[in-house]
Structure 1
Amino acid sequence: MTSSGDQETRRDSAGSPIPEPAAGGGVGGGAAPAPVDPGPGRWLRVLAGVDEQLLSYVPTERARYTALGGVVLGTAVIAAFSMWNALVAVTGGAHVLILLPVLVWALFVLNLDRWLVSSSAGTQWRRRASVLLPRLLVAIFFGFVIAEPLVLRIFGTAIEQHIRDDRAEQLRTLTAKLTACNPVPGQPADQPAERPAEGCLEYVISFPATPAGVTDQLTALRTAAADLDRQIAADSAELEELNEKARRECAGDSGPGFTGRVGEGPNCRRLRGEADRFAASHPIAQDKVRLTGMQQRIALLEGEVRQGNESFEQVRDERIEERVAQMRSHHGAIGMLERFQALHELINANPVLFVTTWLIRIFFILIDCLPVLVKLFNGATAYDRLVDERVNSAIRIYSRATRGAEVSILEELNVRQYEAESAARQERDRIDLNARIHAADIQAGLDRAVDKLANDLRRGAREGNRPGADGRTTYPHLNGSRVGSDG
């Protein structure tokens, strides 16, 4: 079915124009065709693929097809709005250049719906169903494509907030990972001194220098000082105990291991000697001096470690901030894929949102399918019957014109074949004639030669035949040849 702008004049097999049905031959009791409607509704009917000249025979159908054209236009507008939202989400903002693909998409959907509607005209239900059902599937598919950006637009606020929260959580997780995988050496005992063994491969930061060497030296010095301090304490306690025993023995204290006699007796001197020998073999005073030096060295190293840790922590925090800033820079504008992912996560977390989302999708899909659905449920109209009549008439005219052209071509071919056969026969006759003429010429020449030979023979007979020595007759007129027989 063609619109009024696409209509072509029908012609018969001879090439003459075929007029439209005359007045009184139209549908509806012999009424003449109505004048063509020049109003704005005509442009809406063009969107439905209506032939205005054919529709003028059933002017009561104009309102129906004007509304159908409005439905086609409405679906194209919704498709354009959907494409606008999709491109704004992809590009990160509205731009004038977006209007070009939006317009192209709207025209494409408009032309597609126009094709879906106009190609399903007719009165045969089975044929209409076989045409409309595949077109309905196409409309459903495009409905999904058009509906999804609109769903994202409706839930845009919640989706964007979810994406921002997710990005912030990613930054916090990255900061925590980098901090845990790059600990400060020698930090307090309530903090982890080493990075986790697993999951840190991609989070380890390289540093030009670390206070690990000074920290190891400080740890070793602290261990040595603690060991020396324990040794000094043990030696001091043992020396104190030996001196106490010597004092009590010399003072005459009684008890287990003591004599109870006052004065420097053998036991008193022995115990004092043991105390003196222990003091000589265990230089407690020198150990204390050495411990004091170690403690001073520890204090100096602790200052160096503090300064090194502060510098290391500052560098580490700067490197961590660089990594976090790098991830933050990759976020950029919220894209279409992130919106789909966020919507999927929100739907999985909220069953009510799942149902609502699908209801909205189905709503927009039905809107996009409206042109086909309206045509499907509209049934066969009077205009459809006229379309059938015109199509059937065009088929009959074309069939008859085709048969006429076929007969004409076949007759022409037969004539050409007869001409070719006649020319072939004439050529064969000419060749036969030439062959007979040539055979006659040969026969005439042969007859002349025979006649001449006969004449020569007769003349020789008259002149006399002379027998040769071999008994054969010689004929002088034949150059002495012997062609005769014996005597």
Structure 2
Amino acid sequence: MATDVPVRPADAFAGPPMPFRPDRPDRGRVAVRLRRLIGVREDVLDYVPEERPRYTRYGVVVLNTALLAGLSMAVALATYRSGLPLTSVITVAVAWSGVILALDSWLVSTTHGIPPGRLLRTVLPRLVISLLLSISIAEPLLFQLFDKEIRQQIAVSNDEQVKHYEGMLIRCNPKTGEVDGSAACHDYQLNVKNSPAQLAKSIADNAAATKIMQARVDGINKAQSGKNSIATKECEPSKQNWVGRHYYTTEICENAKADAKSYHNSSRIGFYEGQLRKLTTTGSTLSAQQDRASASYGPALQRSVAAAEHKRRSELADDGLLTRAHALEAVAWNDWFAALIFVVVHLLLLGIDSMPVLGKLMSGSTTYDRLLVSRFETSRRIHADEIEVQYACAEMEHEVQRHRVQLETTERMHRLEHEHRLAQAERSLKLRAELDRRAANLLRGDRG
């Protein structure tokens, strides 16, 4: 019976067991891409496969934030720019989602491999940037959540502004037509034609101009009458000269008549009389208009007030971003419970939108981060060793080059010395040959 029980399992010699670390690479494409989105290195994560779910969900958080940003932009464009085509809204929303995805991916990827002691001061600046981004994402969604209350507040606020505007128009434009020149009525003046006050002022101005023109015409006529009287007096028959059978006017008479005629031409009495007739006709017309204006000005003023009120209401109908923000502020701080809901929802949206960086601060330093720190330190050491090796190689190469230069210099110096000695020997031979030649010539001369 004992021989039937195997001493070892049947697969004991099937082969060497798989190493405990690193683990097999993850084959899930979606999970790998989500982790790659936040800059996680799979070859390092293989040594801590227990943290794969953590970083996979981290990638999901970043992706969700980008999708939420695109949804927020689409809601904002559809709400505030309702005239935009759907393709433009989708294009801008997708582009904004991509921008937020790139920024959050960069913010998260720069937090990997931070030592525990430097985590807080490294993450805090990134958290500030993330909060700024989250505000731009959360506000349109917040406006959409409180859309009904915001519209009610805008309607109430617009009614109050229109009623105040109407009251100022009525106050600053009385039915008598008198102009209120106070600083409060500077922006509430209406230009209604043929008001009783304007016509009364026009009549007064026309009467004053008529009086002035009448005085001028009377003065010219009086002066003309005086000159005509002088001419008539100087031209009487008693003052004429009798020559033969005819009377001849004197030179004084001719001068008086010429002076009267010249004054008539230069005084422009015809022009001034025409102006006086026009002023008189205008006065009659204005008096008739004043009689009619007392009955027609009231309805005309009411129509102008109604038109200005309608224009003001149309201007307030555009609920832009600032208008909705002021309305949301009024709704939020209307009572303490509304303020509490506003703050809680606002903080919730900000927390969701800033979760990519906030999650890193909450989770702290992980084993993956410590492995990255070790890898960074190893890389730094390897780089430092590589630099030292390169420096040593360069130093030895310089020594070889220095030694080569020294040897070449010594060789060149020996060559130069050898060439110098050869030159000296040749000069000595030439000198000896010259001396021998001269000695032989001297000997031949003595014999001769």
Matched residue type, 2:186 = L
Matched residue type, 1:118 = S
> Do 1:123 and 1:381's aligned partners in 2 also have CA atoms closer than 8 Å?
no
Q: Which residue in 1 is equivalent to 2:33?
A: 43
Match of 1:131 among 110, 122, 140: 122
Does structure 1 residue 368 correspond to structure 2 residue 359? Answer: no
1:236-255 alignment to 2 at 5 Å? none
Q: 1:213 and 1:124 mapped to 2: Cα distance?
A: 84
**CA gap 1:398/1:182 in 2 versus in 1, 3 angstroms:** same
Q: Which residue in 1 is equivalent to 2:322?
A: 337
Q: Which residue in 2 is equivalent to 1:481?
A: none
> Do 2:119 and 2:365's aligned partners in 1 also have CA atoms closer than 8 Å?
no
Q: 2:203 and 2:388 mapped to 1: Cα distance?
A: 111
Q: 1:119 and 1:426 mapped to 2: Cα distance?
A: 61
Q: Which residue in 2 is equivalent to 1:117?
A: 108
> CA shift at 1:126, angstroms?
0.9
Q: 1:138 and 1:451 mapped to 2: Cα distance?
A: 105
> CA shift at 1:97, angstroms?
1.1
**CA gap 1:382/1:348 in 2 versus in 1, 3 angstroms:** closer
Q: 2:434 and 2:300 mapped to 1: Cα distance?
A: 136
Match of 2:94 among 96, 99, 103: 103
Q: 1:448 and 1:313 mapped to 2: Cα distance?
A: 147
**CA gap 1:450/1:175 in 2 versus in 1, 3 angstroms:** farther
Q: Which residue in 2 is equivalent to 1:146?
A: 137
Q: Which residue in 1 is equivalent to 2:24?
A: 34
> Do 2:119 and 2:364's aligned partners in 1 also have CA atoms closer than 8 Å?
no
Ranked by relative contact order (alpha carbons within 8 Å, sequence separation 6 or more), the top structure is: 2
- SS of equivalent to 1:36: coil
> CA shift at 1:366, angstroms?
1.8
> Do 1:54 and 1:386's aligned partners in 2 also have CA atoms closer than 8 Å?
yes
**CA gap 1:347/1:376 in 2 versus in 1, 3 angstroms:** closer
The RMSD of aligned alpha carbons is: 4.2
> Do 2:153 and 2:330's aligned partners in 1 also have CA atoms closer than 8 Å?
no
- SS of equivalent to 2:184: coil
> CA shift at 1:364, angstroms?
1.8
> CA shift at 1:339, angstroms?
1.7
- SS of equivalent to 2:135: helix
- SS of equivalent to 2:111: coil
- SS of equivalent to 2:157: helix
Q: 1:382 and 1:401 mapped to 2: Cα distance?
A: 28
Q: Which residue in 2 is equivalent to 1:83?
A: 73
**CA gap 1:458/1:123 in 2 versus in 1, 3 angstroms:** same
**CA gap 1:121/1:25 in 2 versus in 1, 3 angstroms:** farther
**CA gap 1:376/1:348 in 2 versus in 1, 3 angstroms:** closer
Q: 2:407 and 2:44 mapped to 1: Cα distance?
A: 54
| TM-score, normalising length: structure 1 | 0.58
Match of 2:49 among 49, 53, 59: 59
Matched residue type, 1:372 = V
**CA gap 1:209/1:420 in 2 versus in 1, 3 angstroms:** farther
Residues 424-444 of structure 1 show CA distances to partners (whole Å, capped at 9, x for unaligned) of 555566666666767777777
Q: Which has the larger radius of gyration?
A: 1
Q: Which residue in 2 is equivalent to 1:204?
A: 189
> Do 1:180 and 1:196's aligned partners in 2 also have CA atoms closer than 8 Å?
no
> Do 1:347 and 1:353's aligned partners in 2 also have CA atoms closer than 8 Å?
yes
Residues 457-476 of structure 1 show CA distances to partners (whole Å, capped at 9, x for unaligned) of 9999x69xxxxxxxxxxxxx
> Do 2:162 and 2:313's aligned partners in 1 also have CA atoms closer than 8 Å?
yes
1:18-417 alignment to 2 at 5 Å? 26-27=20-21, 33-38=23-28, 40-92=30-82, 95-122=86-113, 124-185=115-176, 195=180, 197-212=182-197, 305=290, 307-331=292-316, 333-417=318-402
Deviates more, 1:80-89 or 1:412-421: 412-421
> CA shift at 1:337, angstroms?
1.6
> Do 1:140 and 1:365's aligned partners in 2 also have CA atoms closer than 8 Å?
yes
> Unaligned regions of 5+ residues in structure 1, if any?
1-21, 187-192, 220-300, 464-487
Q: 1:427 and 1:325 mapped to 2: Cα distance?
A: 107
- SS of equivalent to 1:110: helix
Residues 395-451 of structure 1 show CA distances to partners (whole Å, capped at 9, x for unaligned) of 344333343334334434444444455555555666666667677777777778888
Residues 339-384 of structure 1 show CA distances to partners (whole Å, capped at 9, x for unaligned) of 2222334445444433332222222222223333433333444444
Matched residue type, 1:106 = S
| TM-score, normalising length: structure 2 | 0.62
Q: 1:24 and 1:44 mapped to 2: Cα distance?
A: 27
1:8-19 alignment to 2 at 5 Å? none
**CA gap 1:215/1:396 in 2 versus in 1, 3 angstroms:** closer
Matched residue type, 2:383 = Y
Q: 1:78 and 1:213 mapped to 2: Cα distance?
A: 62
Q: 2:108 and 2:201 mapped to 1: Cα distance?
A: 84
Q: 2:317 and 2:132 mapped to 1: Cα distance?
A: 31
Deviates more, 1:64-73 or 1:344-353: 344-353
Q: 1:434 and 1:318 mapped to 2: Cα distance?
A: 123
The total of aligned residue pairs comes to 352
> CA shift at 1:336, angstroms?
1.0
> Do 2:196 and 2:290's aligned partners in 1 also have CA atoms closer than 8 Å?
yes
* Identity fraction in percent: 28
- SS of equivalent to 1:174: helix
Q: 1:154 and 1:213 mapped to 2: Cα distance?
A: 54
Q: 1:153 and 1:311 mapped to 2: Cα distance?
A: 50
1:446-461 alignment to 2 at 5 Å? none
> Do 2:192 and 2:304's aligned partners in 1 also have CA atoms closer than 8 Å?
no
Q: 1:323 and 1:425 mapped to 2: Cα distance?
A: 107
